[in-house]
């Protein structure tokens, strides 16, 4: 099974980003996704910087490097930026909006369908696969059963599925808005945000009034409070034919997570229980850890 590193979802400084990739280049990763997927105002790296980083990383790591596009495209300037990204002519693109799908399919190039595309069944997948989608990252709310049903449906209909990559570790990206919740929490207008989200390299925690951890605010993106962790599901995911597992970068400890996942895929015993949440995989509320909730 492939091990992949998702794009950095938080806003880190240029130095943090460069240091991070210098560190992961020698890790056992098959695919590395880079690029800004959350907010077009984040410009620690320009598109040209990202593409240069992609080429450097490709030669240093030997991994496939993919550049991921923005998930929410509203302004004309964002659309033209996305078009340039899709036209790069060298680095494969992860489409996170149908605008990117439009540009990539018009050019006839292969692409990855990211988790913020609403692709939930084999008929939808078949359409995009025919147009060049080579890998599908299911929406994070999809259960293992849903993915299994997609595979079954594809087999019945005689469709060839793309590779399937499951979001296996990290804060889950749950929602996108025109509003910046980090700026809101700091009483700043979005157009004068001062890049305040850079002060929260793992997002800003939001709890209920009873101190129950609920969400993580990351600019215009709302994420899970808990880290989703599917390492314990490794044997079942391998047996059902999942092709790749994605680890989503955190400011600390990502290397250890990559190595732990790698050890399990090389035969080490997966943990029986995990820290973090795994409810979605079991078709339960995503915030739950099913063992704790007594659901398995």
Nearer to another protein, 53 or 220 (CB): 220
The tokens describing 261, both together, are: 């996942």
Asked whether position 97 contacts another protein by CB under 8 A, the answer is: yes
Asked whether position 73 contacts another protein by CB under 8 A, the answer is: yes
How far apart, in whole angstroms, are the C-alpha atoms of residue 160 and residue 180? 40
Asked whether position 141 contacts another protein by CB under 8 A, the answer is: yes
Applying CB under 8 A, among 140, 237, 250, 264 the residue interacting with another protein is 140
Nearer to another protein, 63 or 193 (CB): 193
User: What residues contact residue 153 under an 8 Å CB cut-off, 6+ apart?
Assistant: 121, 122, 123, 159
User: What residues contact residue 51 under an 8 Å CB cut-off, 6+ apart?
Assistant: 67, 88, 90, 91
Applying CB under 8 A, among 87, 160, 189, 259 the residue interacting with another protein is 189
Buried-exposed string 115-135: b where 16+ CB fall within 10 A, e elsewhere: bbbebbebeebbebbeebbeb
Only segment of 1-9, 29-37, 58-66, 102-110 that touches another protein (CB under 8 A):
102-110
User: Which residues in the 245-274 window bind another protein by CB under 8 A?
Assistant: none
User: Which residues in the 21-50 window bind another protein by CB under 8 A?
Assistant: 40
- Per-residue DSSP letter, 89: S
Nearer to another protein, 125 or 245 (CB): 125
Nearer to another protein, 17 or 225 (CB): 225
Please answer whether residues 68 and 94 qualify as being in contact, where contact means their C-beta atoms are separated by less than 8 angstroms: yes
Asked whether position 120 contacts another protein by CB under 8 A, the answer is: yes
The tokens describing 266, both together, are: 């090389």
Nearer to another protein, 28 or 139 (CB): 139
Nearer to another protein, 103 or 261 (CB): 103
How far apart, in whole angstroms, are the C-alpha atoms of residue 268 and residue 235? 11
Nearer to another protein, 75 or 272 (CB): 75
Asked whether position 111 contacts another protein by CB under 8 A, the answer is: no
**Sheet containing strand 133-136, strands side by side:** 133-136, 111-113, 92-95, 64-68, 31-34, 2-5, 244-247
Applying CB under 8 A, among 54, 65, 112, 150 the residue interacting with another protein is 150
Asked whether position 178 contacts another protein by CB under 8 A, the answer is: yes
- Parallel, antiparallel, or unpaired: how do β-strands 2-5 and 244-247 relate? parallel
Asked whether position 132 contacts another protein by CB under 8 A, the answer is: no
User: Which residues in the 194-253 window bind another protein by CB under 8 A?
Assistant: 204-212, 214-215, 217, 222, 224
């Amino acid at each position: 099974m492939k091990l992949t590193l998702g794009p950095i979802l938080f806003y880190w400084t240029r130095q943090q980003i460069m240091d991070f990739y210098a560190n992961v280049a020698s890790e056992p990763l098959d695919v590395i996704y880079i690029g800004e997927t959350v907010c077009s105002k984040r410009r620690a790296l320009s598109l040209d910087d990202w593409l240069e980083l992609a080429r450097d990383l490709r030669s240093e790591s030997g991994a496939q490097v993919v550049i991921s596009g923005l998930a929410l495209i509203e302004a004309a300037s964002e659309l033209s930026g996305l078009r340039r990204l899709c036209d790069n002519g060298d680095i494969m693109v992860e489409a996170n909006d149908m605008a990117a799908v439009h540009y990539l399919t018009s050019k006839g190039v292969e692409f990855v369908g990211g988790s913020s595309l609403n692709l939930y069944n084999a008929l939808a997948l078949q359409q995009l696969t025919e147009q060049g989608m080579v890998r599908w990252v299911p929406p994070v709310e999809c259960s293992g059963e849903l993915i299994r049903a997609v595979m079954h449906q594809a087999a019945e209909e005689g469709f060839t599925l793309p590779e399937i990559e499951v979001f296996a570790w990290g804060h889950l990206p749950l929602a996108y808005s025109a509003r910046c919740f980090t700026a809101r929490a700091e009483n700043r207008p979005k157009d004068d945000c001062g890049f305040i989200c850079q002060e929260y390299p793992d997002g800003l925690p939001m709890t209920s009034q009873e101190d129950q951890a609920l969400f993580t605010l990351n600019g215009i993106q709302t994420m899970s409070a808990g880290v989703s962790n599917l390492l314990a599901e490794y044997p079942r995911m391998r047996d059902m034919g999942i092709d790749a597992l994605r680890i989503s970068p955190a400011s600390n400890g990502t290397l250890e997570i990559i190595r732990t996942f790698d050890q399990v895929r090389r035969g080490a015993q997966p943990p029986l229980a995990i820290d973090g949440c795994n409810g979605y995989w079991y078709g339960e509320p995503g915030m739950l850890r099913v063992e704790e909730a007594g659901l398995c």
